Structure 1
Amino acid sequence: MLSFTLPRTARITRTHKVATAVLVAAGATTALAVTAQPSTAQPTAAHTVAAVKPVSANGMPAAVHAKGDAPKAEHPAIVSVAAQVKAKEAPKQAHAAKRTAPKAEKKQYANNLDGWIRQSLDIMKSKGIPGSYDGLHRNIMRESSGNPNAVNDWDINAINGIPSKGLLQVIQPTFDTYHVSGTANKLTDPVANITAAANYAADRYGSIDNVNSAY
């Protein structure tokens, strides 16, 4: 009859525990080293580097122009030439506009007593000479009956060689002194005669309206 002795249950001593821990730690280190090695695989989306947005000086996101939208700066030479051309064209355009501007129509007056008086009144107004249509018409009818070629050849002026002439019977020296620029330099011209007489009456009597007899 064979007999054998059963082995004793192995007892783990402190020394065995330390050795086992060392082996476990060494295994973990190896695993980490293997994991840390670079991989040839493409990085996943989670590891993709995010695009960096430009930031302005105040910390706010800077405006980004889409490709093709960014304004192109003109070459200085092109800008200079364009400015010179514009400067040369400006006077021409202004001159052209001046030539094409409609001209104010010249006021027309009838070639009769009414027209002469109205034309004289407009000239008197522009020169600051007082007088009314009634004042002029009343004195004209008394002096010459509306005849621009009337001549007085019997009074003292006629005797002295300077007869009164025209619508308001003006003598030459008075006409020369009170002639109004813008009218004909002729004593018997209807408008010139009326305007000069009104100018004389304004200086002597304040207005032709104040004259009711020979003056």
Structure 2
Amino acid sequence: MRSNHSGYTRLSKVHKFSAAGLGAAGAAAVAFAVVSGGPAMADARPAVKPVAFETKTLAGQGQGESARHADEAAARAKTEAAAKVKAEADKQRAEKQAANRSTDRAPLQKPAAPAAPAPKAYGNDLEGWIAQALDVMKAKGIPGSYEGVKRNIMRESTGNPHAINDWDINAVNGVPSKGLLQIIDPTFKAYHVEGTSWDIYDPVANIVASCNYAADKYGSMDNVNSAY
């Protein structure tokens, strides 16, 4: 029902009762929420998000442990490798020192004697006989030259080592001259040179003994130009 006064509304009893009821109900609801912490209060409280820091912390610790173990393993491997290198170097040094000590203790070896020169080869002919006889004469200090020796050989025997004179005075006396330089047995034996044959017909022995006799009587076979 409208009032006669402009802008003013009169409430009936029913309206007043309804408003009063609503107010009381609202106040009760607020009071209930404050006192009992009911749903109204719970909805007003801000939500807190849980933090799973413990799980993250454990995971981080695990990773840290793994990294530390890896570093320790690498360090151990490096140390072991260095130890192996040092051990090998020590072993080689010890072996070298042992070898040096062994060498130092080893008796000194005498130098090998030089090999004896191969014997000189001579031809089995007049040239070879004269050459060999001259080498013996040189070693024994008996004078004489190739020319002097060969000249007298050619006059006495013409180079025949088995020549024998059976008509001169020596032959008459029973001691004929023999060999390349026609020497008699007593003279050959008296002037024989050690190291040569005792066979008067041996070419080298005959030449050397005859030259030794000529050196004693005439100074050298080079000074003989006739029977001697």
TM-score interval, smaller chain: 0.5 to 0.7
Residue of structure 2 equivalent to 1:205: 218
Amino acid across the alignment from 2:215: A
Aligned length: 135
Partner of 1:90: 109
TM-score, scaled to structure 2: 0.53
The 5-angstrom pairing of residues 1-215 of structure 1 reads: 79=101, 83-84=104-105, 86-87=106-107, 90=109, 94=111, 97-98=112-113, 102-215=115-228
In 2, Cα distance between the equivalents of 1:155 and 1:198?
A: 21
Q: Which runs of 5+ in 1 are unaligned?
A: 1-67
- Per-residue Cα deviation, 1:97-153 (whole angstroms, up to 9, x for no partner): 44xx54422111111111111111111111111111110111001101110000111
Q: Equivalent residue of 2:109, what SS?
A: helix
For the structure 1 residues 83 and 138, does the alpha-carbon distance in structure 2 shift closer, same or farther, using more than 3 Å as the test?
same
Residue 209 of structure 1 aligns to which amino acid in structure 2? D
Structure 1 residue 82: deviation in Å?
5.8
Identity of aligned residues (%): 59
Q: Which has the larger radius of gyration?
A: 2
Greater share of helix residues, 1 or 2? 2
Distance 2:150 2:210 in 1: 12
Measured on the aligned residues, the alpha-carbon RMSD in Å equals: 2.6
* One-letter amino acid of the structure 2 residue matched with residue 157 of structure 1: N
Label 1:90 to 1:144 Cα distance change in 2 as closer, same or farther (>3 A): same
Structure 1 stretches of at least 4 aligned residues deviating more than 4 Å after TM superposition: 81-84
Task: Provide structure 2 residue ranges, at least 5 long, that are not aligned to the other structure.
Answer: 1-88
Structure 1 length-normalised TM: 0.56
Could you say what secondary structure the match of 2:206 adopts? helix
1:141-179: CA deviations, max 9, x gaps? 110111000011111211222111000001111111111
